[in-house]
Chains A and B, each alone.
Chain A
Amino acid sequence: MAAPLTLLLIVAVTIRAVLFRSSLAELISERVEVVSPLNAWKRVVEGLALLDLGVSPYSGDVFHETPLMIYLFHFTVDYAEIVFMVSPYFVDCLSCFLAPLDRFRKQKYALESDRYPADCLELLRSPKEMFYIPLKVAMFYLLNPFTILSCVAKSTCGLNNAIIALFIFCTLKGSALLSGILLALATYQSIYPLTLFAPALLFFLQRLYIPVNLRRSSFWFFTLQYAFIYVGSLVVITGLSFFLLGSWDFIPSVYGFIFSVPDLTPNIGLFWYFFAEMFEHFRLFFICVFQINVFFYTIPLSIKLKEHPVFLIFMQIAIISIFKSYPTVGDVALYMAFLPAWSHLYRFLRNIFLVSCVLLACSALFPVLWHLWIYAGSANSNFYYAITLLFNFGQILLVSDYFYAYLRREHHLIHGLYLKKKDGTEATLVLK
């Protein structure tokens, strides 16, 4: 395991180093699919330059990073490339812990395996299969072209991904304190990881064998503990940010910006063209609708997947990446890194071929249609918007397909793999 992993790391570092030094680096850091107004490196440099000129970076509308980023980059701006190269490797730590996770689950099943129908055993994974999952996850993340592009562009999305990955790592390891602190940091960076509070809580409850029953005091005791850690660290981090620049200017500049979407720079998301063409009268209504859309899947998903918190984390991250206000390919790469962990669901996926074709085609068409619109002038914004729609549709299809496959596998584990109808013939399974 160590040798292939090391080889993988070396290959990944080499690719990134080569691209950093080539002329492609500048080209990539201007691409709107890879950087957004929230995490572009150009804007970080601009914010630091404004600070040098004696003007607050938040007085204009160019800089939307949190003050802790100013702290970080103030000292490491010359070593930025190294910072961005190191961050993907945090995601690797995550992968190392997915294996013990599955071991945990396998133990749980082994205890109950006599409850399972005999033909289901092929659904359970063998240790041999699971041995290679960490390597596959690392490969999926490090060698994913989306991640490479995001890293070479020095988009701070890579750092946000690292924080989320560390949070998942600490959660899986069982440390509630670190998990709460990292979740607070992730929420502080961009508000959407707030929805990851529920899956983390469910995971800890499952791990500590506390039943999720609203009437039990042990449930409330742990929930309040975890919430206290989370909210407390969030307050501390926000307070520290206040003391950096001595003002609360960063709150409307960062969080107000994320929520009210004033900047309509094209990206791979659904917000920009929608709000560019919105009637002024309905703008506030649709902003609220679109932002609620990100958050309101939490409760139903948590209820349905309360015994499977890791899959819930995957679903939440995917929903955030698709429906957030300024998505980039770096966000897409984060949930795609999880897919090897669910490789056992492959037999139940229905649309995987279609989805992969759609995503590949869209990724190829994005730069083409951008060039035609902005530089050649022969296409217009509708072309790029269409590809945006298709890309997001492909992502939604991917996520819902994996959800379907997961639920179907759970059903088969309980009811048996080869189902028969009442008269003994082979049955089909439908959602009703």
Chain B
Amino acid sequence: CSHHPGKARDQFQEELVIRPLHSGDIYASFQFRTLWDTDFLQERQKVSHYRLFPKSLGQVLSKFSVRELHISFTQGFWRTMQWGQPFIPSPPGAELWVWFHDTVSDVDGNWKELTNVLSGIFCASLNFIDLTNTVQPSASFKPLGLGNATDHRFLRYATLPREIVCTENLTPWKKLLPCGSKAGLSVLLKSEKLFHSSFHSQAVHIRPVCQDEQCTSKAWELRQTLNVVFDLYTSGQGKKEWSLFKMFSRTLTEACPLATSSKVYVDITDNPELFELSPATPLLSQAVVLGDRRTYSVFDLTRAETFGQLRSLNLLLRWKGDSGMLRPLLHAERYVAGFGLQTGEIHTVIYNNHPYRAFPVLLMDSVPWYLQLYIHTLTVTSKSRDNKPSYIHYQPAKDRHRPHLLEMLIQLPPHSMTEVTVQFERALLKWTEYTPDPNHGFYVGSSVVSALVPSMVAMNTNFTQDQPLFSSFVPVKEESSYFVRVYTEPLLVNLPTPDFSMPYNVICLTCTVVAVGYGSFYNLLTRTFQVDEPSLPLAKRLANLIRRIRGVPLLA
């Protein structure tokens, strides 16, 4: 590859982490990181050199003055209690949150155009994101990159829980990679295997980062992550024996030539005696991730000897017995209670599984406007006692303009279950506002629980260049805790529906009743009472006419 003299220091790293889960499933997490070295934050000069960074995203960043962009498409729901914590959490459906620059004057206009442009780039229906499902969280979504912005007027967050992820979304996502799907780890991304899984999530995260510890130069970082969990029975034929070929129907043959680092990490921490990994590798790495010290076998794809004589790498993992799993310290569930189509209750249950430490969590709920929340019915109970949140930010919904936003800071007692309940009423919408299948129900986006969970193991706060990508996604500020974001299930709520075949009939019938009222009053107002003189029948009237002509007296 050619090297430009001077400051062309774009970098590309790729890695794959394979983690066997104790239920027999296997979790594979791809991360592709492109660093784009360009001076952007100070002057908005037109950039015309795109080397590794995809041009479509670069133009989006400069046109809409985006400082951070996080978009994810997820199929399936991450089961925290069975699978542990994911490296990068994501809610079912599509999620998009963006921090704009302070210089933007019309954030809503930029947001609208941005969603439409991203909808085209990713072939997704992000154009359904509008003001009725966008919120501005005040505390839950702080910037993950550089910058200490606190003005949440420049933050926009939206989810589309109903969005389905399929091959049409994977293909443009793969095109953003420098090597496409031709070389390196991205050859494994074949849709027929990826979508035949329990959980599939692909995401794009763009943020400004420091390039070195002293932060003398800044760069744009683009991280493309793909998390997939293959089910033991659907994909694995019931045997705890996984290989790259079985998971992806491909093997690795070479690293991406544009990558400075291309590694495969296999988590071998659990039960090392019962675990079999071939081909064997001498490289081992230890990392503290998600509050746990894990050991990984490393396969460096930039070294030719990794591929062996066959020039292809097909990892084989086999294990027997049940390995223990670190119980996730923070876990949340959500469900709708109540019956009938008039009212209901949303219950959010948050579990703190730490044996002796209490910690606060930030719960963010965004409920669509057609479920009218009653905040005076909000109750938070821990261990059957009232637990008053120390910070509540509530923005009520405006019909057809914006959704409810509820953010609360709740202190979770150790080893406890906290239940948050709030009552709502279901609205009757206009007949044109229902989706084509109204009895399917309406989706309510996942709640977001964000917390700094106390860590059993000291976290690594040092910044090193060759840190594995999976442990450097979220910046670690202190040793004693790590940041965790848990998404709950989305809810499916039925609304009462009018009869869609009836608009003309309803208009006619209601106008008839109004006209009956009008007619009665009109008669009584304009007519007077008169004695009823009966009129003669027709024959007699004609006879009278003839008699008048003859001059003879008339009939009675």
Contacts and interface: CB of A to CB of B under 8 A. Distances in A.
Interface of A: 30, 32, 42, 45-46, 48-50, 53, 55, 59-62, 262-266, 270, 272-280, 290, 293, 297, 300-301, 304, 322-323, 373-375, 377, 380-382, 385, 389, 392-393, 396-397, 400, 403-404, 407-408, 411, 419, 421-423, 427-432
Given A265-B428, A381-B496, A389-B509, A53 B392 contact: yes
A385 B506 contact: yes
Nearest to A253: B398
A322 B428 contact: no
Given A293-B514, A389-B510, A403-B521, A422 B533 contact: yes
B498 interface: yes
B497 A381 contact: yes
Contacts of B431: 276-277
Interface of B: 339-343, 369, 372, 374-376, 392, 394-400, 404, 427-432, 496-499, 502-503, 506-507, 509-510, 513-514, 516-518, 520-521, 523-525, 527-533, 556
Nearest to B510: A274
A323 to B, nearest CB: 8
B516 A374 contact: no
Contacts of A423: 556
Given A30-B343, A430-B530, A274 B506 contact: yes
B506 A322 contact: no
A280 B398 contact: no
A252 B289 CA distance: 53
Contact of B375 (A53, A274, A374, A385): A53
A322 B529 CA distance: 27
Rank and list the top 7 A-B pairs by shortest CB-CB distance, nearest first. A60-B396, A49-B376, A400-B520, A277-B503, A431-B527, A375-B340, A396-B517
Nearest to B500: A277
Contact of B525 (A42, A62, A273, A301): A301
Nearest to A408: B529
A300 B524 CA distance: 10
B340 A374 contact: yes
Contacts of B529: 407-408, 411, 429-431
B521 A297 contact: yes
A389 B339 CA distance: 28
Contacts of B524: 304, 400, 403-404, 407, 431
A422 B513 CA distance: 39
29 contacts: A50-B394, A53-B392, A55-B394, A55-B395, A59-B396, A60-B397, A61-B369, A61-B396, A62-B372, A263-B427, A264-B427, A264-B430, A266-B428, A274-B506, A276-B431, A277-B503, A278-B430, A278-B503, A389-B510, A403-B524, A407-B524, A411-B529, A421-B533, A422-B533, A423-B556, A427-B532, A428-B531, A429-B529, A432-B530
A54 B202 CA distance: 40
Contact of B342 (A293, A374, A382, A392): A374
A17 to B, nearest CB: 25
B92 to A, nearest CB: 27
Contact of A431 (B502, B517, B521, B528): B528
A352 B430 CA distance: 37
B339 A375 contact: yes
Nearest to B375: A49
Contacts of B517: 322-323, 396, 400
A276 B429 contact: yes
Contacts of A408: 529
Contacts of A273: 498, 506, 510
Given A304-B524, A374-B496, 9 more contacts: A49-B375, A53-B375, A53-B392, A277-B502, A301-B525, A385-B506, A411-B528, A429-B529, A430-B532
Contacts of A404: 524
Contact of B506 (A262, A277, A422): A277
Nearest to A42: B374
A396 B499 contact: no
B511 to A, nearest CB: 8
Given A275-B430, A276-B429, A45 B376 contact: yes
Contacts of B502: 277, 382
A293 B516 CA distance: 12
B172 to A, nearest CB: 35
A273 to B, nearest CB: 6
Contact of B432 (A270, A280, A392, A407): A280
Given A278-B507, A380-B499, A389-B509, A59 B523 contact: no
